Amino acid sequence: MDSAVTDESLASRTIEGDRAAFDLLVGRWRDRIVNLAWLLTGDRHAAEDVGQEVFLRFYRRPDAYDPQRPFAAWICTVARNLCHDRHRRESTRTRYQTVAATERRFGPNPLPQPAAEAQLSEGEAALRDAIAALPEKFRDAYVLCSVRGLTYDEASKICGCPAKTVSTRLARARKRLVERMREWL
């Protein structure tokens, strides 16, 4: 299938029952969504779950997406909301913690980890921890704008707030991260 086909067009075809279009959309977006979720949840495994959940929701109820809206903003919003839901659920349960928190308490996991996670340098791991420790709104702004490279306007549509608010949240997030990451900067 042509790479020039837009996401919106593929989403419309998915709504009409085209499975190949769904597969192509998943192929295009899965890595981005999993990485977004990884940053928002701070947990690589949870990110995989969230990634699957996002696409399953779309597959099961494709009409939840309005083809007149940009697909990118819609799918990122779904992923963000799922991450927040998950974070709230998990925060009430101490049993399952982030990998970082678990390892702080129990020592490093002796088992082989997924490739990307194993390659993290200390600085990168510290940055992920620091991002995960940010308040939800600041974390959204930082991840969407600074890491994912979205504009303030694009991020504002996902966060549901004005672009100016995004910019101030981003500045606050950066300030906190610089303070926390001083050792690595």
Partner 1 sequence: MSRDDWFLSLLLDGRLPPDEAAALRTRLESEPALAAQLDALRRLQALSETLPMARAEFSGADLRAGPPMAPSRSPRWRRVGIAAAAVALLALSHGAVYWLAQRSGRAALETSADRTRDGDVSPSGDTQWIAHSRDPIETTEAMLTKASNLDPAAPFAQLQTELVGIRERVGPLRPRLAAWAERRPPMRERARELSHALVSLEVAFEEVSDPGILSIAISSIARNSLRGSVSTRYLPANAQSVRLIKISAKRYRLELFDQTERKPRMVRDEGTLAELRERHDIQLVVQEKD
Footprint of partner 1 (CB under 8 A): 19, 22-27, 30-31, 33-35, 38-39, 44-45, 47-49, 51-53, 55-56, 59-61, 95-97, 99, 102, 105-107, 109-112, 114-117, 119-120, 123-124, 127-128, 142, 145-147, 152, 167-168, 170-172, 174-175, 177-178, 181-182, 184-185
Give whole-number Cα distances, 45 to 4, 77, 86, in Å: 32, 20, 12
CB of 68 to partner 1, least distance (A): 22
CB of 139 to partner 1, least distance (A): 12
Q: Of 52, 53, 50, which Cα lies nearest the Cα of 37?
A: 50
The residue (of 162 and 171) whose beta carbon lies closer to partner 1 is 171
CB of 132 to partner 1, least distance (A): 12
Angle in degrees, CA 147, 28, 2, rounded to 5: 135
The residue (of 19 and 69) whose beta carbon lies closer to partner 1 is 19
CB-neighbour burial class of residue 38 (10 A; exposed 0-12, middle 13-18, buried 19+): buried
CB of 3 to partner 1, least distance (A): 16
CB of 146 to partner 1, least distance (A): 5
Q: Of 21, 43, 41, which Cα lies nearest the Cα of 117?
A: 43
The residue (of 114 and 162) whose beta carbon lies closer to partner 1 is 114
The residue (of 78 and 99) whose beta carbon lies closer to partner 1 is 99
Distance CA 28, CA 54 (A): 13
Q: Of 4, 156, 8, 170, which Cα lies nearest the Cα of 75?
A: 8
CB of 54 to partner 1, least distance (A): 10
The residue (of 31 and 66) whose beta carbon lies closer to partner 1 is 31
Neighbours of 8 (CB within 10 A): 17
The residue (of 3 and 110) whose beta carbon lies closer to partner 1 is 110
Q: Of 5, 10, 25, 21, which Cα lies nearest the Cα of 67?
A: 10
Amino acid at 28: R
